[in-house]
Amino acid sequence: MKRQILIIEDEEIISNLLETELSFEGYNVFSAADGMSGLKIFEEKQEYLDVVLLDWMIPKLHGLEVLRRMKKMTNKVPVIFVTARDYVGDKVAGLDAGADDYLTKPFNIEELMARLRVIFRKNTQPAIYSYGTVSLNPGEHTVEYQGKATSLTQREFALLLFLFEHQGEIISRDDILEEVWGMNFGGQLNTVDTYVRYLRKKLDKNMIETIRGLGYRLNKDK
């Protein structure tokens, strides 16, 4: 079944671009050019929507108020702000109001597609990941090793979750840095190596396999 996306955007060029690109990628798209129309579509189709792409500066009802009203109806539909408002205070306000992500204009369509994939992965992840004697519960934010609770830092947990989400895949250090530390991280690639060592000390030391020159993956022999 196709994923359903609602675009609330008053700039026709951007709206048409999004609709064309998303449709090409196999999404079913609904569009609205103002806040009130967007809310009406959301109310009618909220049960089937998978994500909303929401501009902030739209007619009749601005995006932040649209977001607040949508969240009162349901918390089950992720919302990504796509807006020219790049002030840090606006980002904080949007995220605090319940937005799941915030993308500033101008943006690269490939980045938007990647962020959508992240949203969908989060919403379809299993209740518990398990691998050998290690289990991870994303909802409870807990990890167990050999049946005992194991304390991980936020970064360690995020790194382990990312490896679980891509079990069997070789993941480069660049991809890990971008996903776990963020695109604007100014550190070094060896940061990843350091945190892999941390996980090996706390969990099964053979769990994470080093693929020389390429990156890391969960050891396929488990």
DSSP-assigned states of every residue in 120-189: HHHHH--S-EEETTEEEETTTTEEEETTEE----HHHHHHHHHHHHTTTS-B-HHHHIIIII-TT--S-T
Q: Is this structure's pTM higher than 0.85?
A: no
Please give the structure tokens belonging to residue 122. Answer: 């989060």
CATH topology of domain 129-218: Arc Repressor Mutant, subunit A (1.10.10)
Note the pLDDT of residue 195: 94
Any bridge partners for residue 83, and if so which?
A: 104
Note the pLDDT of residue 189: 66
129-218: same fold as 4-124? no
pLDDT digits (tens, 9 = 90+) for 5-63: 999 999 999 999 999 999 998 899 999 999 999 999 999 998 889 999 999 999 999 99
Could you say which DSSP state residue 33 is in?
Answer: S
Note the pLDDT of residue 220: 63
Note the pLDDT of residue 179: 81
Domain boundaries, the chain: 4-124, 129-218
CATH of 4-124, one of 3.40.50.300, 3.40.1030.10, 3.40.50.2300, 3.50.50.60: 3.40.50.2300
Nearest to 216 by CA among 187, 195, 202, 201: 195
Give the residues of the chain that fall short of pLDDT 70: 1, 123-127, 183-189, 220-222
Note the pLDDT of residue 128: 83
Note the pLDDT of residue 59: 95
